[in-house]
């Protein structure tokens, strides 16, 4: 069991990022349907809600791989719709007469009172509860999707790194010898010295010729 977990560790981690994405997507679809159904038939509300979830995932995927264009505008719009749909559903379904809601108000009254909210205002307490329950769902889903995409790109970066090293290593080896080849020798014989040496050799040849012919007996 431990060996299987070690071998499939990366797949398990990516799967853990994928689970909250799918669950929140299903819940968010039903929440946004309740908001779209205010002014649309229920069938249209379902279609629109599914389209919003797909657009949200597509926009965050495009933003993660740095696609240029109006990606962030689409992302902001669909995220805003998700916020509105989830918050509206939670606000509409909250029963202020339930025991759970009264316990919630008693628990959070000091916090919201410090924020300027009236603890006797039931509607205000209901709004805070809907904001917390519905508003955090899109953030959790989109953050998990972002991590899912980024973690998948780690393997691609590791694979491409050795290729770069292999390409750069021969270049360094080729450049190193050229530096030695281009070095200028420390001692260079001037042209004038060459001419002088050649003239001396010619004079010696002439003297030797005269001696051999007997014209310059004494040298």
pLDDT of 85 above 80: yes
Residues 6+ apart with CB under 8 A from 155: 10
Task: Give buried/exposed letters for 130-157 (b at 16+ CB in 10 A, else e).
Answer: beebbeebbeebbebbbbbbeeeeeeee
Residue 198 — pLDDT band, cuts 50, 70, 90?
low
Determine the pLDDT at residue 33. Answer: 92
Identify the CA nearest to 84 among candidates 56, 118, 123: 56
Determine the pLDDT at residue 193. Answer: 58
Question: Looking at residues 181-185, what average pLDDT do you find?
Answer: 50
152 or 25, greater pLDDT: 25
Distance CA 127, CA 213 (A): 130
Domain-wise residue ranges, the chain: 8-155, 189-219
Distance CA 141, CA 135 (A): 11
* 167-173-177 Cα angle (round to 5): 150
118 or 204, greater pLDDT: 118
Q: Residues of the chain with pLDDT > 70: what percent?
A: 68
pLDDT of 151 above 90: no
Q: How many residues belong to the chain? A: 219
- State the average pLDDT for the chain: 75
pLDDT tens for residues 42-52? 999 999 999 98
Determine the pLDDT at residue 217. Answer: 47
pLDDT of 88 above 90: yes
* Span of 37-41, 61-65, 89-93, 127-131 with lowest mean pLDDT: 61-65
Determine the pLDDT at residue 47. Answer: 92
pLDDT of 129 above 80: yes
Distance CA 112, CA 117 (A): 5
Q: Are 63 and 75 in contact (CB under 8 A)?
A: yes
Determine the pLDDT at residue 21. Answer: 77
- Please report, for residues 44, 184, 192, 202, the alpha-carbon distance to residue 187 in angstroms, rounded to integers and kept in the order given: 92, 9, 15, 26
pLDDT of 114 above 90: no
Q: Residues of the chain with pLDDT > 90: what percent?
A: 19
Distance CA 81, CA 37 (A): 13
């Amino acid at each position: 069991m431990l060996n299987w977990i070690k071998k499939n560790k990366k797949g398990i981690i990516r799967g853990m990022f994928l689970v909250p994405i799918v669950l929140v997507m299903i819940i968010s679809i039903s929440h946004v349907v309740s908001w779209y159904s205010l002014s649309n038939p229920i069938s249209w509300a379902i279609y629109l809600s599914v389209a919003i979830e797909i657009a949200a995932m597509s926009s965050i995927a495009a933003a993660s791989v740095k696609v240029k264009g109006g990606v962030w505008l689409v992302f902001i719009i669909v995220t805003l719709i998700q916020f509105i749909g989830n918050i509206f559903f939670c606000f509409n379904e909250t029963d202020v007469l339930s025991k759970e809601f009264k316990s919630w108000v008693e628990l959070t009254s000091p916090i919201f009172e410090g924020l300027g909210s009236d603890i006797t205002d039931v509607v205000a307490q209901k709004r805070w509860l809907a904001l917390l329950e519905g508003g955090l769902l899109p953030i959790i889903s989109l953050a998990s999707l972002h991590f899912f995409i980024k973690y998948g790109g780690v393997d691609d970066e590791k694979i491409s790194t050795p290729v770069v090293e292999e390409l750069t290593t021969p270049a360094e080896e080729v450049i190193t010898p050229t530096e030695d080849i281009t070095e200028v020798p420390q001692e260079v014989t001037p042209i004038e010295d060459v001419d002088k040496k050649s003239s001396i050799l010619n004079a010696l040849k002439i003297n030797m010729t005269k001696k051999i012919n007997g014209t310059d007996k004494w040298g």
